[in-house]
Structure 1
Amino acid sequence: MAKKEQEEKQEQVEANTGQENEYADTATSDNPEICFSPQDVNQFLTALNEKSRLLDEMTDRYKRLQADFDNFRRRTRQEKEELSIVVAERIICELLPVVDNFERATASSTTDLNTLTTGVQMIFRQLNNSLCQLGVEPVNAVGNMFNPAEHEAVMRVEADDQPDGMVIEELQKGYKVNGRVIRPSMVKVAGNS
């Protein structure tokens, strides 16, 4: 009888082991976190901590880069403002002698028209020289072919003796600064029908 009881117990253990394996298989397919060993959990936690550390590091780098960019933008704006002040000062310093000469001309009580005309011509030359030193030069117009980058055609005139598109008269002078057109010349252009 004891042998029979022992066999029954053995069958029960085997049946229970089969059920546990069945549950383990079910757990693996339906609920995977139950099947992880403590070693697997430690590996996942280590990997998670590493990713969290990398995220914190990248966030700090991002914040530093953002602060550096904001500082760069602020410095650039300040430098631009300072540069524009320096440029304005340079222009004013070039033009002040012209203003001085105009003051002298208007203050003089000369009634001689030739002297006044000569003085104004000298001031005009001085102003042109100051502008040349600042890189300002006139746009060539009359006798050149129409160029929309340098000229603004306001009239088209019949001219049989001129080729089509030739600038025949300048109504307002155009100017360049360091090769860049700041005001195009207003011109009359020859047109043949």
Structure 2
Amino acid sequence: MSKKKKAEKKLKEEPKADDEETLTPEETAEAEIPKEPSPEETAEAEIPKELSPEERLEEKELEIAELKNEMLRLRADTENIRRRLNKEKLDSIQYSNEKLIKEVIPIFDNLERALAAADANPDSLKQGVEMISKQFLALLQKEKVKPIPALGEKFDPNIHEVLSQIESDEHEENTVIEEYSRGYFLNDRVLIPARVVTSKKPAPHPDDEPKEEAEATA
């Protein structure tokens, strides 16, 4: 057989590309859809793996370490809050009168000016003191401070402090007849009680005894 005939025979024996097996579109789609696991396979996958004693111990140690760290953080936060509150409290005590002091300083400056000018002009001292008195009164009123009524008032132990008593037939008993130092309210609370002298009934004189009592004695 010639070489040409052998080549033709070989070509006839080789399978053609058109003879290969082909898939329909439906078969191709079915092949591409992933297969869902069966209920048995799903149940097996959901069953947690049982830990060994060593693994459980390690897990608990990690939990304990996390709790300790959290406790330390909370303790540090609490300590920081406590320190901040203590500092704020100390500052509020140390500087609670800051506003009042700022208002008093100018009044004190005016007093020093009045004293410095007293030698050159004595009248200026009186004027300076009067001005300072008005400034103090304005400051007290601004701070809701007002004087406690005293002279001519009935003695009130809640707002008056008795220094002494003087016999008087011109006043009712326990009437304030002298004011040693003025008292003040702060809003409605007694800031300083008024220090006063009150009246009392005069002691009976021997010459004023009733006649009946004298006759009975005789």
- Judge same fold: TM > 0.5, yes or no: yes
The residue number in structure 1 matching 2:178 is 169
The residue number in structure 2 matching 1:95 is 104
TM-score normalised by structure 1 residue count: 0.56
Secondary structure of the residue aligned to 1:121 is helix
The letter for the 2-side match of 1:140 is P
Match of 2:192 among 176, 183, 186: 183
| Post-superposition offset of 1:111 | 2.5
Match of 1:115 among 97, 116, 124: 124
Match of 2:154 among 121, 145, 150: 145
The letter for the 1-side match of 2:159 is E
Quote the Cα distance in structure 2 between the aligned partners of 1:173 and 1:125. 16
The residue number in structure 2 matching 1:133 is 142
Q: Which structure 1 segments of 5+ residues have no match? A: 1-63
Deviation per residue, 1:51-108 (Å, 9 max, x gap): xxxxxxxxxxxxx8xx97x888766554443333443101111101101212222333
Quote the Cα distance in structure 2 between the aligned partners of 1:181 and 1:124. 22
Q: Are the aligned partners of 2:180 and 2:195 in contact in 1 as well (CA < 8 Å)?
A: yes
Aligned pairs for 1:29-44 (under 5 A) are none
Secondary structure of the residue aligned to 2:129 is helix
Q: Which moved more, 1:95-104 or 1:79-88?
A: 79-88
The residue number in structure 2 matching 1:159 is 168
* Rg (Cα) greater in structure: 2
Higher relative contact order (CA 8 A, sep 6+): 1
Secondary structure of the residue aligned to 2:166 is strand
The residue number in structure 2 matching 1:13 is none
Q: Are the aligned partners of 2:147 and 2:183 in contact in 1 as well (CA < 8 Å)?
A: yes
Q: Which structure 2 segments of 5+ residues have no match? A: 1-73, 203-218
| Alignment pair present for 1:192 and 2:192 | no
Quote the Cα distance in structure 2 between the aligned partners of 1:178 and 1:106. 33
- CA pair 109-188 structure 1, distance change in 2 beyond 3 A: closer
- CA pair 104-71 structure 1, distance change in 2 beyond 3 A: same
Deviation per residue, 1:119-166 (Å, 9 max, x gap): 111112112212222222222111111111111111111122211111
Whichever structure has more helix as a proportion of its residues is: 1
Task: Report how many residues are paired.
Answer: 131
The letter for the 1-side match of 2:177 is I
